[in-house]
């Protein structure tokens, strides 16, 4: 072929400069066969790039164009026990105010309750939760129900785990409640109802702890009171049966009477001895001896009541003292049980838990979720790091393969 026509033909038809043969005997190569491997390589690189950065692209599209704004209402509260104020020293209070020490708080129970199914059920009884989040103008991934959360109680509970959160500051003991909805008034209503439910739960915990604390003391008091009643009934039955109010006083009176009779008997015998010394035939001896015998008989009868035996004063006195001692012990048991009950009630009041609201739920005037720019930048950064790590691994593997083939 002439050299003139070689310059006019397209590059993919022109003969190579080193080829001097006839044009009809040119090798059968063309533009498609020469550039096909390059196109395939470019396509693979482009596909790999899109695959690696697909999360970033999808995140950019979703958060930049599709994601619905959400309004966040926050509230702060602290859960403290009744003995915090009395137990805390000045240094402890100062450290707590400065954020160095940790306040005594039982907030973990409240935190667990606010994120529990019971709290969701309590909210559903007062608020139309499903309709609050079933907004037709919200994006399909944010509204409820969706592909991830079904229209069931379990689905609603799992969905609200992403809309309601509680964070506890371990140092200060302050808890922050955070509620996200598509409308600002809905966020405030849910936050207010959650705080009311938390206060109700705290009151239930107080009642339960008080009931457990004083339950045993009340049982002990009831047993002691029943023992006292039984002892009093037995003592009253004894008095009615024996017709005596106090057997001890009766025994003392009887002993005093016997002592007086013995004194009179001694005086009479002295008088008889004196009369005999004056005149053994004195007419006064008869009456004196009759008096002496009467005193001896009376003393014998009175002593017979005191002597041991069934139905006499000694047995009655022993039974009375036993019943009176049982009543005394029962009375002291009642007093001890009452003191224990008062102590248990005082301790239960000291262990009461209180929920103090530090910050009431606010009404947001602009949406703060989702954090579009922060999320997009974070995902792009993570994708870039993943791409760099993958490129380093592939490059290292290629260099290793080339070195192995060269050797």
Contact 77, 360 (CB under 8 A): no
Total domains in the chain come to 2
Q: What is the DSSP string of 21-40?
A: S-GGG--S--HHHHHHHHHH
**CATH assignment at residue 326:** 1.10.287
Per the domain annotation, does 63 fall within a domain?
A: no
Residue 197, pLDDT score: 92
Q: Do 83 and 196 share a domain, yes or no? A: yes
Per the domain annotation, does 381 fall within a domain?
A: no
Residue 244, pLDDT score: 60
Mean pLDDT, the chain, whole residue set: 75
Per the domain annotation, does 236 fall within a domain?
A: yes
Show Cβ contacts of residue 133 under 8 Å, excluding neighbours closer than 6 positions. Answer: 143, 144, 159, 163, 181, 182
Q: Do 155 and 77 share a domain, yes or no? A: yes
Q: Do 202 and 246 share a domain, yes or no? A: no
Please tell me the distance from the alpha carbon of residue 260 to that of residue 253, in angstroms, as a whole number. Answer: 11
Instruction: State the pLDDT confidence band at 275, using cuts at 50, 70 and 90.
Output: confident
Contact 355, 231 (CB under 8 A): no
Residue with tokens 């229209």: 151
Please tell me the distance from the alpha carbon of residue 40 to that of residue 33, in angstroms, as a whole number. Answer: 12
Residue 74, pLDDT score: 93
The two most distant CA atoms of the chain are separated, in Å, by 203
Contact 207, 113 (CB under 8 A): no
Residue 298 in this model has a pLDDT that exceeds 60:
yes
Q: Do 244 and 355 share a domain, yes or no? A: no
Q: Do 114 and 240 share a domain, yes or no? A: no
Q: What is the pLDDT of residues 209-221, one digit of tens each?
A: 777 777 778 888 8
Q: Do 208 and 232 share a domain, yes or no? A: no
Per the domain annotation, does 286 fall within a domain?
A: yes
Per the domain annotation, does 143 fall within a domain?
A: yes
Residue 18, pLDDT score: 44
Please tell me the distance from the alpha carbon of residue 180 to that of residue 197, in angstroms, as a whole number. Answer: 18
Q: Do 204 and 123 share a domain, yes or no? A: yes
Side-chain-side CA neighbours of residue 397 (13 Å): 6
Please tell me the distance from the alpha carbon of residue 213 to that of residue 345, in angstroms, as a whole number. Answer: 8
Instruction: State the pLDDT confidence band at 71, using cuts at 50, 70 and 90.
Output: very high
Average pLDDT score over residue span 380-405:
83
Helices first, then strands: H and E counts in the chain: 14, 4
Per the domain annotation, does 272 fall within a domain?
A: yes
Q: Do 75 and 188 share a domain, yes or no? A: yes
Q: Do 240 and 164 share a domain, yes or no? A: no
Residue with the larger pLDDT of the pair 46 and 80:
80
Q: What is the signed CA dihedral for 160, 161, 167, 173, rounded to 10 degrees?
A: 80
Q: Do 179 and 94 share a domain, yes or no? A: yes
Per the domain annotation, does 193 fall within a domain?
A: yes
- Which range of 22-26, 65-69, 71-75 scores highest in mean pLDDT? It is 71-75
Residue 178, pLDDT score: 93
**CATH assignment at residue 191:** 3.30.1890
Please tell me the distance from the alpha carbon of residue 188 to that of residue 178, in angstroms, as a whole number. Answer: 10
Q: What is the pLDDT of residues 123-140, one digit of tens each?
A: 988 888 888 888 788 888
Q: What is the pLDDT of residues 153-192, one digit of tens each?
A: 888 899 998 899 998 887 888 899 999 999 999 999 999 9
3-state secondary structure 172-196: CCEEEEEEEECCHHHHHHHHHHHHH
Per the domain annotation, does 18 fall within a domain?
A: no
Instruction: State the pLDDT confidence band at 245, using cuts at 50, 70 and 90.
Output: low
Residue 235 in this model has a pLDDT that exceeds 90:
no
Q: Do 81 and 209 share a domain, yes or no? A: yes
Q: Which domain holds residue 126?
A: 70-213+351-359
Q: What is the pLDDT of residues 341-380, one digit of tens each?
A: 888 777 777 777 788 888 899 998 888 888 888 888 998 8
Average pLDDT score over residue span 94-109:
50
Q: Do 306 and 206 share a domain, yes or no? A: no
């Amino acid at each position: 072929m002439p050299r003139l026509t070689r310059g006019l033909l397209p590059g993919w038809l022109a003969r190579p400069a080193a080829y001097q043969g006839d044009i009809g005997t040119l090798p059968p190569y063309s533009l498609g066969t020469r550039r096909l491997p390059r196109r395939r390589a470019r396509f693979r690189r482009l596909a790999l790039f899109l695959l690696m950065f697909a999360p970033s692209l999808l995140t950019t599209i979703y958060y930049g164009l599709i994601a619905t704004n959400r309004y966040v209402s926050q509230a702060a509260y602290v859960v403290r026990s009744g003995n915090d104020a009395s137990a805390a020293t000045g240094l402890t209070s100062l450290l707590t105010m400065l954020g160095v020490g940790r306040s005594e708080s039982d907030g973990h129970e409240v935190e667990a309750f606010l994120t529990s199914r019971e709290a969701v059920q309590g909210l559903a009884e007062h608020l139309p939760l499903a309709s609050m989040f079933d907004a037709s103008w919200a994006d399909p991934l944010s509204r409820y129900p969706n592909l991830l959360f079904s229209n069931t109680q379990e689905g609603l509970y799992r969905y609200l785990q992403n809309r309601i959160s509680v964070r506890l500051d371990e140092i200060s003991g302050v808890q922050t409640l955070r509620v996200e909805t598509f409308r600002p008034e809905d966020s405030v209503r849910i936050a207010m109802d959650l705080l009311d439910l938390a206060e109700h739960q705290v009151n239930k915990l107080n009642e339960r702890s008080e009931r457990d604390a004083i339950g045993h003391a009340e049982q002990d008091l009831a047993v002691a009171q029943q023992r006292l009643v039984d002892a009093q009934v037995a003592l009253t039955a004894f008095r009615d049966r024996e017709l005596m109010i106090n057997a001890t006083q009766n025994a003392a009176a009887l002993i005093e009477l016997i002592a007086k009779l013995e004194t009179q008997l001694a005086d009479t015998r002295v008088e008889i001895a004196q009369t005999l010394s004056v005149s053994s035939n004195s007419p006064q001896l008869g009456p004196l001896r009759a008096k002496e015998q009467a005193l001896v008989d009376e003393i014998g009868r009175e002593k017979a009541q005191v002597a041991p035996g069934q139905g006499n004063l000694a047995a009655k006195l022993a039974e009375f003292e036993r019943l009176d001692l049982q009543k005394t012990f029962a009375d002291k048991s009642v007093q001890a049980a009452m003191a224990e009950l008062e102590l248990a009630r005082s301790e239960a009041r000291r262990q009461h838990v209180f929920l103090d609201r530090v910050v009431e739920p606010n009404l947001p005037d602009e949406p703060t979720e989702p954090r579009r720019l922060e999320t997009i930048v974070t995902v792009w950064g993570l994708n870039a790091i993943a791409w760099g790590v993958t490129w380093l691994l592939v490059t290292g593997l290629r260099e290793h393969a080339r070195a192995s083939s060269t050797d």
